[in-house]
Amino acid sequence: MVRLERLRADHEEALLAFESENREYFAQTVPDRGDDYFAHFTARLRALLDEQDAGICHFHVIRDQEGTLVGRINLMDVAAGRAELGYRVAQRSAGKGVATAAVREICRTVGPAYGLHSLTAKTTEDNKASRTVLERNGFVLTERITLMGRSGVRYARVHLGHRQSG
């Protein structure tokens, strides 16, 4: 259903189009990245690739069965076998199982690929779709937090690489 690709410089055009086309949609649940993000996209992408090369983060694009870039899934703040998971899916792909499949795939592969044994993720408390994606992939609620000035929740998953039902 979906294919994950490690972020590369040649993703720039498709990734910028994805972010631009979904800017208003994403701003409904997370703070807008601002005009500066789009104006300096090439430099920002280079900085992400540098972080990835240093092993600090691992960034991926999500492609659908036709090969269209429909999302991003990222592992940030990698240290001591742990990382924080973040993802976003295009509005036209929302509600079609893309995020669930991408999270399932990243959980299956991060152990062997990056030596990770646990992930955390956070979202706003009212983001039912994101919470459902995490719960379907074996994440458990660990704490209530404040996120972007709103009520939020943090989830965790350990034992990566093990198949979860969902």
Instruction: Answer yes or no: is 164 within a domain.
Output: no
Q: Mean per-residue pLDDT for 137-144?
A: 97
Encoding tokens for residue 129?
Answer: 């779709």
Residue range(s) defining the domain that contains residue 153:
3-158
Instruction: Answer yes or no: is 73 within a domain.
Output: yes
Instruction: Answer yes or no: is 165 within a domain.
Output: no
Nearest CA to 120 out of 110, 26, 165, 46 is that of 110
Band of the pLDDT at 51, cuts 50, 70, 90? very high
Instruction: Answer yes or no: is 44 within a domain.
Output: yes
Instruction: Answer yes or no: is 163 within a domain.
Output: no
State the pTM of this model: 0.92
Q: pLDDT tens digit string along 73-99?
A: 999 999 999 999 999 999 999 999 999
Instruction: Answer yes or no: is 146 within a domain.
Output: yes
Give CA–CA dist 161/118, Å, rounded. Answer: 10
Please enumerate in sequence order all residues whose Cβ is within 8 A of that of 88, keeping only pairs 6 or more positions apart, or say none: 22, 26, 30, 71, 72
Give CA–CA dist 166/163, Å, rounded. Answer: 10
Residue 111 belongs to domain with CATH number: 3.40.630.30
Amino acid at 49: L
Instruction: Answer yes or no: is 166 within a domain.
Output: no
Q: pLDDT tens digit string along 96-125?
A: 999 999 999 999 999 999 999 999 999 999
- Long-range contacts of 44-50, Cβ-Cβ distance < 8 Å, separation of 24 or more: 45/7, 45/9, 45/11, 45/12, 45/15, 46/9, 48/7, 49/7, 49/8, 49/9
Counting the structural domains of the chain, the total is: 1
**What is the pLDDT, as a whole number, of residue 50?**
98
Give CA–CA dist 165/137, Å, rounded. Answer: 7
Are 157 and 118 in contact by the 8 Å Cβ rule? The answer is yes
